[in-house]
């Protein structure tokens, strides 16, 4: 019986060590900034906008949809932050939705930053390249002035947490 317990303890320690190494490797990878890939999506008028349009600014990309309650909850805070930070920061909403739903939402809310329409898969694919491995929304990333992704967050993001990230740049 003691042999089985010893094997179990050794296996448990090996598993714990393996998980620790994996988490450390993932943490190390996440700490290294990755460049923002160039992308282009149309706005509500069908005019394409490229990610290079906002070079030399801090960019906050928010992947969202009109059918997502958490997404809609954080947009007013993002609007306030866009006003607060002005030209220093550019918020960009990337809607994983159809254009008609986003137009209706924009008419009601008057979002003060660009809303781009990615449809479904193109937006999810871009979000995945930016670290959203579980295809969560809302999903927000912050890109520094050098075009490097330095922060990402899956799920609803508080204004205070985002302000802290931006203030640190």
pLDDT of residue 28: 41
A 10 A CB-CB count for 161 gives: 12
Quickly count helices (H) and strands (E) in the chain: 5, 8
In whole angstroms, give the CA distance from residue 82 to residue 120.
Answer: 25
This prediction has a pTM of: 0.80
- Decide if 106 contacts 115 (C-beta within 8 A): yes
Residue at token pair 């448990």: 12
pLDDT of residue 15: 60
Summarize pLDDT for 43-59 with one digit per residue, the tens.
999 999 999 999 999 99
pLDDT of residue 21: 45
Structure tokens at 164: 């802290």
In whole angstroms, give the CA distance from residue 92 to residue 161.
Answer: 18
Mean pLDDT of the chain: 88
Summarize pLDDT for 118-128 with one digit per residue, the tens.
976 899 999 99
Distances (CA, A) of 11 to 25, 31, 74: 21, 30, 44
Question: Looking at residues 83-106, what average pLDDT do you find?
Answer: 96
Radius of gyration, CA atoms only, the chain: 20
Structure tokens at 87: 């030209």
- Decide if 128 contacts 135 (C-beta within 8 A): yes
- Backbone angle region of 125, left / alpha / beta, with phi > 0 → left and psi within -120 to 50 → alpha: alpha
pLDDT of residue 12: 60
pLDDT of residue 108: 97
């Amino acid at each position: 019986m003691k042999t089985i317990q010893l094997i179990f303890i050794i296996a448990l320690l090996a598993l714990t060590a393996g998980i620790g190494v994996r988490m450390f490797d993932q943490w190390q990878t996440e700490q290294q900034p990755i460049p923002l890939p160039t992308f282009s999506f149309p706005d509500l008028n069908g005019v394409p906008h490229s990610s290079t349009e906002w070079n030399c600014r801090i960019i906050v990309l928010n992947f969202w949809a009109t059918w997502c309650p958490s997404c809609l909850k954080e947009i007013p805070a993002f609007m306030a932050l866009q006003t607060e930070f002005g030209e220093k920061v550019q918020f960009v909403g990337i809607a994983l939705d159809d254009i008609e739903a986003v137009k209706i939402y924009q008419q009601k809310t008057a979002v003060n930053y660009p809303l781009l329409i990615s449809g479904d898969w193109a937006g999810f694919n871009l979000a995945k390249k930016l670290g959203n491995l579980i295809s969560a929304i809302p999903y927000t990333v912050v890109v520094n002035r050098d075009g490097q992704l330095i922060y990402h967050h899956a799920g609803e993001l508080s204004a205070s947490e985002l302000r802290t990230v931006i203030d640190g740049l």
